[in-house]
Structure 1
Amino acid sequence: MEQRDPLVAVPQLDLEVKALLNAGRLPEANTLFDQVVSRIPPGADRWTRSAVLVNRAKLAWRLGRIPLALELAAEGWTDLDGENADNPAAAQAMHALAYLLEGIGNRRAAVDMLRLSVQVARRAEVPEVLGHCLQGLGGTLNFRAISSPPDRAPAIFAEAREYLREGLELTTDEQMRRALLGAYSRSLAGVGELIEAEQAARETLRQATEAGDRWSQAVANWVLAVVRRDQDDLVEARTLASRAVAAAEAINDASLLLRFSLDLADICAKMNDHVGEAAALRCSVAASKTATETLQEGLAQALEQRRVAVQAQRLAVAAQEAAARDPLTGLANRLGLERAAAGLLESTAARGRVPWLVLVDVDWFKGVNDDAGHAAGDAALREIAQLLRRECRADDLVARWAGDEFVVLLGDTDSNARDVGPVVAERIRAAVDCHDWTMVLGTTRRPTVSIGVAAGPAKLDQLFAAADMALYRAKRHGRNRVEVEPSVAEIVGGT
């Protein structure tokens, strides 16, 4: 995606989207925008990336794709530091941000952002970019002057005129020159220089007609209408203003349409053309309503997208939790134990305490399955899981390791309770041994458990290996008993 000019951050295809918009070819603009919206020029620095993203936000806004515009603007704004910037791409990004701020009604912030963009462009010393930023500031000040009290408007128009005149001396890009010249003609009309304003507007109209630039045509016709209105030639003023309104409608620019239709209504009122005035006012109301509804609809879409994203995140978390949980017993499974163990062991060590691992294995479980059936065996495992929960604290980590083997990790234990692991293990053994298994297994031999216990400042696999050795001894010495790994007990005794 090559750029039209190495000094300008906006890629060529993005400029083509803008040209299509200005020509009123909205479907084509939308199609081309879809092709370029996710592509960033290779090797782009953070300033260029910001400029591309925010300019695309501006294009998305003009296309009525408000949620996407807000998303792109937020992403592009992240890296901007206007106070210290001297990069032309940063100036362009600020210029585009100002357009969006204006679109959502934050006019003071928009003017401040445009002034900052001009400062950055001056520091960058890139004439083409400075001309672009001056056009944005001058054009916006024109609109401020129109809506200001009559005694303040001329000074604002005069300020805009100077910015726009400077921009015309800098830029060589034809499209930008048309935009500058059109805005310059309006500021000339605002300070009463009507002859010069008409000359500049007619030149803008000539160039725009040759280029098929309906945006500049709309602005030129609007300025000519203002000049004729101020010259009391209301009939021609009405014709020119009607053309401006029609062009603004064709390019789907609600801001221009609102301004132009209000001026057309004013001209019709001076002519006592009440039908024309009512039609123009309806157009202005419709433009205002469209802008408001578009923003509201876009914000609603953004909220809906956020809701869907949150829901998807929750589903992903639930899926992760499900993957770490044993479906039969509801306990953590091996994956869940491995995920949680590191944090528990780390927090235990940070408190200066010693973790215990209790490894529980059901005795003769194959015989339970053979005698009572697998359904009864599953029920017995669920019952043992409940007994484990009952005998352990809420913050102990209880898991089904595999088959008929369970693990309990006791982390935050009292440092003075040096036999807490064996005590808990014995409670578990006794609970299983004394449990009434009649409802679950009938007259089948009731299950018991053998338990190995280990402790020490060790990793999970080291604790498990030590507890497994103790469990082996418990099995060898007759089952239904608790054994503690001696070497680990010595470690605990020495702490």
Structure 2
Amino acid sequence: MGQDDQLAAAEALRADREVRLLIDAGRADEANMLFDQLLAKVPPGLAPWTRAAILTRRAVSAWRLRRIPLALELAAEGWSDIDAEQPRGSFAADTLHRLGYLLEGIGHRRASLDITRVAVEVARKGDDVEILAHALQNLGGTLNFRACEQAPAEAEASYREAIAAFQEGLGLATEGRIHLALLAAYGASLAGLGELEEAERIARQTLELAAPGPDVWAESVGNWVLARIRWQTGDLDEATQHGITAVECAEQINDVALLQRYSEDLANICRDNGDHAGEAAALRRTVMARRTAVETLQEGLSQALEQRRLAIRAQRLAMAAQEAAARDPLTGLANRLGLEHTAPELLERAVASGRVPWLVLIDVDWFKGVNDAAGHAAGDAALREIAQVLRNECRVGDLIARWAGDEFVVVLVDNPADHAHDVPVGVSVAERVRTAVDQHDWTAVLGTTQRPTVSIGVATGPHSLEKLFANADIALYRAKRRGRNRVEVHASVEDYAINPPR
């Protein structure tokens, strides 16, 4: 990636970071406006992992803004870019740990933890300290939430692994938002292990550093840690106040995962404090948070399915329009465009498989006289009848088209079984068509008007459509010159010419 591309990537990542800061500050409207401006701006020519990192960062922002279908679409696009790539470098680590965050959000918790651990290992081999710090913070935060649901022995192991991740991250990021995020979550781990004095010191420091921003995300974590500390020390009234603040902050930044965790803890604190009304209110928030998570996912899935349905419908409409453009509206047969699109492939397959292609060119005799005597409506009806005769007499797989006016074309390929017959398949089909038209009952369509017949020219050989058509046209002209209502074959197979009985 050249220097200009690196600058473009850095600018894109900076803008994405601004969106995340707005989200964490609870400024969702501003975040949405800036995010919409960024969506169409992915710099061209980026390395796969760089592009994937930008897309997955935007997927996380879309998720936090509850734009679930867009989040899934961006994540899928980012993942598809690097599906066959080995994860190497800091951008790969950045992509992986954000995908881990999204997997956690949609309920794939085992996969989330696995991919988050991989992200840390990849980041350690990269050259971007900030991305490694982010990956460590994500791993530690995921472990903290796991520990809240585990048995004591398992919870202790999770907290200790989280603490190791946070300490490594804090050694890398000594200031800024990532330092604050690491610090806040580190306090939660310490509180989980019972190191309450150090946990409270860190929680207070977190709230002090978060206030000027404001960083509402850090405020929520800091208050959650203080709530859990006061809960353990038995100061339940103060625990309740910190718990309520944590819940309100989580609501402000639209973080459903935090809201579920905090409101559940708040319900337990209120229960222990004998505050049944508070417990009920917190439980309602827990239920609402879970319902919101489920409904958001359901809405996202519904919208994704609807988008898929609309895409399929659009594809079908496009195919129908394409098919209509290649089909004759009067007879329903392929038209000239349809023939020219389909026939070359049919001829190529025939030659490649050692089979013999045929082109049958059919012209209605004295059709102008039919139109003049019976009218154009009757003439159109006669053409539709001839089209139906062609369908009846040709085989499945034969390509039948109305070439122009009263001319029709059949392109067909012989089968191995056809070689056992004396008359080649192309000539046989042509004669069946001629006979069927000649013997057709035209009374309902034309009354007592002159009955139409057809003259047919046949050509074969490993030729292009244009060459076969030219040869069949020569044979057709001969059929016209020799009296009409007959089949003539191009000179290369003239031994098979058929003249109808008179």
Look up the SS of the partner of 1:479 in the other structure: coil
**1:138 match:** 140
CA contact (8 A) 1:229 1:237 kept: yes
Matched, 1:459 2:464: yes
Deviates more, 1:230-239 or 1:458-467: 230-239
Residue identity opposite 1:85 in structure 2: P
Residue identity opposite 1:278 in structure 2: A
> Cα offset for 1:15?
1.3
CA contact (8 A) 1:4 1:11 kept: no
Residue identity opposite 1:299 in structure 2: L
> Cα offset for 1:222?
0.9
> Cα offset for 1:350?
3.0
Aligned with 2:425 (options 413, 420, 425): 420
> Cα offset for 1:94?
0.8
Look up the SS of the partner of 1:124 in the other structure: coil
Matched, 1:202 2:207: no
Aligned with 2:475 (options 457, 470, 476): 470
Q: Output aligned runs, 1:68-87, within 5 Å.
A: 68-80=70-82, 84-87=86-89
Look up the SS of the partner of 2:125 in the other structure: helix
C-alpha distance in 2, partners of 1:346/1:122? 56
CA contact (8 A) 1:135 1:163 kept: yes
CA contact (8 A) 1:353 1:415 kept: no
C-alpha distance in 2, partners of 1:181/1:491? 92
> Cα offset for 1:262?
1.5
Shift in CA distance, 128/489, structure 1 to aligned 2, threshold 3 Å? farther
Q: 1:214-235: per-residue Cα shift (whole Å, max 9, x none)?
A: 1111111111121222222222
Shift in CA distance, 449/5, structure 1 to aligned 2, threshold 3 Å? closer
Q: Output aligned runs, 1:424-443, within 5 Å.
A: 424-443=429-448
Look up the SS of the partner of 2:434 in the other structure: helix
CA contact (8 A) 1:9 1:48 kept: no
Aligned with 2:162 (options 153, 160, 165): 160
**1:192 match:** 194
Gapped regions of structure 1 (runs ≥ 5): none
Q: Output aligned runs, 1:192-341, within 5 Å.
A: 192-341=194-343
**Overall identity of the aligned pairs, in %:** 61
Shift in CA distance, 392/173, structure 1 to aligned 2, threshold 3 Å? farther
C-alpha distance in 2, partners of 1:205/1:284? 24
**1:123 match:** 125
Look up the SS of the partner of 1:210 in the other structure: coil
C-alpha distance in 2, partners of 1:211/1:6? 27
> Cα offset for 1:253?
1.0
Matched, 1:350 2:352: yes
Residue identity opposite 1:428 in structure 2: V
C-alpha distance in 2, partners of 1:130/1:174? 14
CA contact (8 A) 2:200 2:225 kept: yes
> Cα offset for 1:420?
2.5
Residue identity opposite 2:488 in structure 1: E
C-alpha distance in 1, partners of 2:338/2:372? 30
C-alpha distance in 1, partners of 2:39/2:274? 49
**1:480 match:** 485
**1:447 match:** 452
C-alpha distance in 2, partners of 1:270/1:422? 95
C-alpha distance in 2, partners of 1:4/1:375? 69
Q: Output aligned runs, 1:337-416, within 5 Å.
A: 337-413=339-415, 414-416=418-420
> Cα offset for 1:91?
0.7
CA contact (8 A) 2:8 2:43 kept: no
> Cα offset for 1:488?
5.1
> Cα offset for 1:83?
8.6
Look up the SS of the partner of 1:399 in the other structure: strand
> Cα offset for 1:10?
5.9
C-alpha distance in 1, partners of 2:412/2:6? 66
The two structures have a TM-score, normalised by structure 1, of: 0.94
> Cα offset for 1:487?
3.0
Look up the SS of the partner of 1:77 in the other structure: helix
C-alpha distance in 2, partners of 1:6/1:334? 50
**2:50 match:** 48
Q: 1:156-201: per-residue Cα shift (whole Å, max 9, x none)?
A: 1111011001101112561111111101111111222212111111
C-alpha distance in 1, partners of 2:295/2:218? 26
Shift in CA distance, 131/373, structure 1 to aligned 2, threshold 3 Å? same
> Cα offset for 1:205?
0.7
Q: 1:16-37: per-residue Cα shift (whole Å, max 9, x none)?
A: 1111111111122122211212
CA contact (8 A) 1:138 1:161 kept: yes
The two structures have a TM-score, normalised by structure 2, of: 0.93
C-alpha distance in 2, partners of 1:109/1:9? 31
CA contact (8 A) 1:54 1:96 kept: yes
Look up the SS of the partner of 2:211 in the other structure: helix
Q: 1:365-420: per-residue Cα shift (whole Å, max 9, x none)?
A: 11111111100110111111111112211221111000000011121342454532
How many residues align? The count is: 491
CA contact (8 A) 1:128 1:172 kept: no
CA contact (8 A) 2:488 2:494 kept: no
C-alpha distance in 1, partners of 2:105/2:12? 21
C-alpha distance in 2, partners of 1:189/1:105? 26
> Cα offset for 1:422?
2.2
C-alpha distance in 2, partners of 1:16/1:490? 82
CA contact (8 A) 1:8 1:88 kept: no
CA contact (8 A) 1:9 1:89 kept: no
CA contact (8 A) 2:343 2:465 kept: yes
> Cα offset for 1:126?
2.0
CA contact (8 A) 2:5 2:45 kept: no
CA contact (8 A) 1:9 1:51 kept: no
CA contact (8 A) 1:82 1:116 kept: no
Look up the SS of the partner of 2:408 in the other structure: strand
C-alpha distance in 2, partners of 1:408/1:310? 32
Q: 1:203-249: per-residue Cα shift (whole Å, max 9, x none)?
A: 11111111111111111111112122222222222111111111111
Look up the SS of the partner of 1:454 in the other structure: strand
Q: 1:343-362: per-residue Cα shift (whole Å, max 9, x none)?
A: 22122223322111110111
Look up the SS of the partner of 1:78 in the other structure: helix
C-alpha distance in 1, partners of 2:373/2:292? 76
Gapped regions of structure 2 (runs ≥ 5): 498-502
C-alpha distance in 2, partners of 1:256/1:82? 34
Residue identity opposite 1:176 in structure 2: I
C-alpha distance in 2, partners of 1:133/1:122? 10
**2:500 match:** none
> Cα offset for 1:475?
1.4
Look up the SS of the partner of 1:246 in the other structure: helix
